[in-house]
């Protein structure tokens, strides 16, 4: 008698339990075991672009379904996963019989819908960043995860989080290497300027299901440039447009802010202000500076976290430090010094040239945070075991909501007070309209 999807997922989770307790699985523990019941049945939604980066890791599981709006992307994916069934419409793919989990690598404007639909079906979800576009969407995705976290594992695709430097930065900040934290500054720069949505040009080929690519977003006419560029950079052809993405702040900003967010134990900001390029109703700003004020917690004072993009930068702490050479970085200012870091390196700078760091005691080897290992494997092991990941939709949802609020404040053109519990701007009610985004008929977010 075949096992139904929910029972199968319970079996997979139980298979990771030994004796009377739960074994916390190390990265890679389950790989190499060829018993079919110990492999996940996974759908890869969006097989090109970021989807290509998942091919190798997913080959160790059962990829039973492939979904893409471009039929020309299937042959390469089918070479890797020859037994998979192909779909054009992700809504049909999510109902594939026996599915355990999905990996979503679609354009950003589909993310919230796919995540919520999948979690409503009890599926584990790996979602490329950002997990959603608007504040409302992000809160709905996070709420759906919190409702189902006892039975599913989620991971947002901020894979740089697994770099050991993220843990080292957190340890330095929490252990007082810069003294009392006074401010945090984060920056990045990877966005192309566009005057507006691309003009209508030609007709889509028969192998490209353009209406499905538009999905829940308002309709914009076909232009082949939306589909140009290399696999790792195609997102730069569409993610700067309001209906398709969030621009730099939700693109590489998702990685760079994570470097700071991981070290702060922050919730949602209580106030936000932002400025940047003159507002364009089609295109997100290239240049943007946003400030987020966070209350104190049990180990640090209240702080301001600042984001800079498009050439805007914080003031360099020393004349000999050129922040322009750190394309994506974070700087932590404290009472006793500064920490400047990028994804893979860090530099601790005393507050005064004559200062030393004798006040700071390094951790013993056994106190150092162990490495996460492979980011994708962490999620796969969590699906089969204790459901715990380092970038679940709770952790990442709060960070992504903060970044989206930066765009809300930019559009409002004023400092906003924010009630994070209610998800509402309290001092400028008109700004609450920017917390949402419009959808086309026939695309409910909670399917």
**pLDDT tens by residue, 25-69:** 333 333 333 333 589 999 999 999 999 999 999 999 999 999 999
Do 256 and 151 belong to one domain?
Answer: no
Phi then psi for 90, rounded to 5 degrees?
A: -65, -25
Task: Report whether pLDDT(189) > 90.
Answer: no
- How many degrees, rounded to 5, is the angle at CA 180 between CA 178 and CA 182? 90
Do 181 and 77 belong to one domain?
Answer: no
Do 104 and 167 belong to one domain?
Answer: no
Do 31 and 125 belong to one domain?
Answer: yes
Query: Does 395 map to a domain?
Result: no
DSSP label at residue 70: B
Compute the mean pLDDT over every residue in the chain, rounded to the nearest whole number.
92
**Cα dist from 393 to 85, 119, 441, whole Å:** 28, 11, 27
Phi then psi for 262, rounded to 5 degrees?
A: -60, -25
Q: Residue 191 — pLDDT band, cuts 50, 70, 90?
A: confident
Query: Does 80 map to a domain?
Result: yes
Quick one: pLDDT at residue 358? 79
Task: Report whether pLDDT(261) > 50.
Answer: yes
**Partner residues linked to 309 by β-bridges:** 188, 288
Do 294 and 416 belong to one domain?
Answer: yes
Domain C-terminal end among 108, 141, 160: 160
**Cα dist from 357 to 331, 350, 360, 435, whole Å:** 18, 7, 6, 45
Domain C-terminal end among 120, 145, 160: 160
Q: What percent of the chain has a predicted confidence (pLDDT) above 70?
A: 91
Give residues with Cβ within 8 angstroms of 246, minimum separation 6.
108, 130, 133, 239, 284, 403, 404, 407
Query: Does 300 map to a domain?
Result: yes
403-435 pLDDT, tens digit each: 999 999 999 999 999 999 999 999 999 999 999
Tokens of 374: 């492979």
On the question of a cis peptide bond just before residue 130, with omega within 30 degrees of 0, the verdict is: yes
Domain total for the chain? Answer: 2
Do 21 and 33 belong to one domain?
Answer: yes
Q: For residues 115 and 98, what is the distance between their CA atoms, to the nearest angstrom?
A: 18
Containing structural domain, residue 182: 161-192+248-368+401-435
Q: Residue 157 — pLDDT band, cuts 50, 70, 90?
A: very high
Do 118 and 75 belong to one domain?
Answer: yes
What is the chain's length? 447
Query: Does 327 map to a domain?
Result: yes
Do 319 and 176 belong to one domain?
Answer: yes
The CATH number of whichever domain residue 344 belongs to comes to 3.30.360.10
Do 133 and 275 belong to one domain?
Answer: no
Do 273 and 415 belong to one domain?
Answer: yes
278-314 pLDDT, tens digit each: 999 999 999 999 999 999 999 999 999 999 999 999 9
Do 304 and 155 belong to one domain?
Answer: no
Sign of CA dihedral 113, 117, 122, 123: negative
Average of per-residue pLDDT across 205-228: 99
Quick one: pLDDT at residue 190? 86
Other Cβ atoms within 10 Å of 48 Cβ, number: 17
Quick one: pLDDT at residue 3? 47
348-370 pLDDT, tens digit each: 998 877 677 778 889 999 999 99
Centroid of chain to Cα 305: 18
Yes or no: say if 133 and 250 are a contact pair by the CB < 8 Å rule.
yes
Domain C-terminal end among 113, 139, 160: 160
Query: Does 110 map to a domain?
Result: yes
Do 57 and 167 belong to one domain?
Answer: no
Query: Does 379 map to a domain?
Result: no
DSSP label at residue 367: G
Inter-helix orientation angle 395-412/135-148, to 10°: 160
Query: Does 329 map to a domain?
Result: yes
Query: Does 406 map to a domain?
Result: yes
Quick one: pLDDT at residue 12? 53
């Amino acid at each position: 008698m075949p096992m139904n999807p929910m029972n199968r997922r319970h079996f997979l989770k139980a298979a990771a339990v030994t004796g009377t307790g739960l074994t916390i699985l190390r990265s890679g523990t389950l790989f190499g075991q060829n018993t079919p019941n110990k492999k996940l049945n996974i759908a890869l939604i969006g097989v090109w672009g970021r989807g290509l980066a998942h091919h190798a890791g997913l080959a160790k599981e059962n990829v039973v379904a492939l979904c893409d709006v471009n039929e020309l992307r299937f042959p390469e994916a089918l070479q890797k996963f020859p037994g998979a069934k192909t779909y054009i419409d992700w809504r049909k793919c999510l109902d594939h019989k026996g599915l355990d989990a999905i990996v979503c690598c679609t354009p950003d404007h589909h993310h919230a819908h796919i995540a919520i639909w999948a979690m409503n079906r009890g599926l584990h979800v790996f979602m490329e960043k950002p997990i959603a576009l608007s504040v409302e969407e992000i809160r709905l995705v996070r709420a759906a995860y919190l409702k189902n976290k006892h039975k599913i594992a989620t991971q947002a695709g901020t894979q740089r989080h697994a770099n050991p430097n993220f843990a080292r930065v957190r340890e330095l900040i929490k252990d007082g290497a810069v003294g009392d934290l006074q401010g945090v500054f984060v920056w990045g720069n990877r966005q192309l300027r566009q005057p507006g949505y691309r003009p209508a040009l030609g007709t889509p080929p028969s192998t490209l299901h353009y209406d499905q690519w538009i999905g829940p977003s308002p309709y914009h006419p076909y232009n082949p440039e939306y589909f140009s560029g290399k696999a790792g950079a195609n997102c730069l052809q569409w993610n700067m447009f309001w209906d398709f993405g969030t621009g730099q702040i939700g693109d590489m900003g998702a990685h760079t802010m994570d470097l700071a967010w991981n070290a702060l134990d922050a919730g949602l900001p209580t106030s936000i202000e932002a400025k940047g390029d003159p507002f364009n109703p089609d295109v997100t700003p290239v240049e943007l500076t946003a400030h987020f004020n966070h209350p104190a917690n049990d180990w640090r004072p209240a702080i301001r976290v600042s984001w800079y993009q498009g050439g805007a930068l914080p003031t360099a702490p020393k004349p000999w430090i050129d922040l322009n050479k750190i394309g994506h970085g974070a700087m932590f200012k404290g009472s006793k010094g500064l920490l400047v870091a990028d994804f893979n390196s860090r530099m601790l700078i005393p507050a005064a040239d004559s200062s030393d760091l004798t006040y700071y005691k390094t951790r013993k080897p056994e106190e150092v945070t162990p490495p996460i290992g492979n980011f994708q494997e962490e999620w796969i092991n969590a699906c089969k075991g204790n459901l715990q990941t380092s970038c679940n939709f709770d952790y990442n949802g709060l960070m992504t909501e903060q970044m989206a609020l930066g765009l809300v404040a930019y559009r409002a053109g004023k400092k906003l007070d924010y009630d994070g519990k209610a998800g509402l701007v309290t001092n400028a009610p008109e700004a609450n309209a920017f917390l949402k985004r419009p959808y086309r008929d026939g695309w409910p977010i909670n399917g």
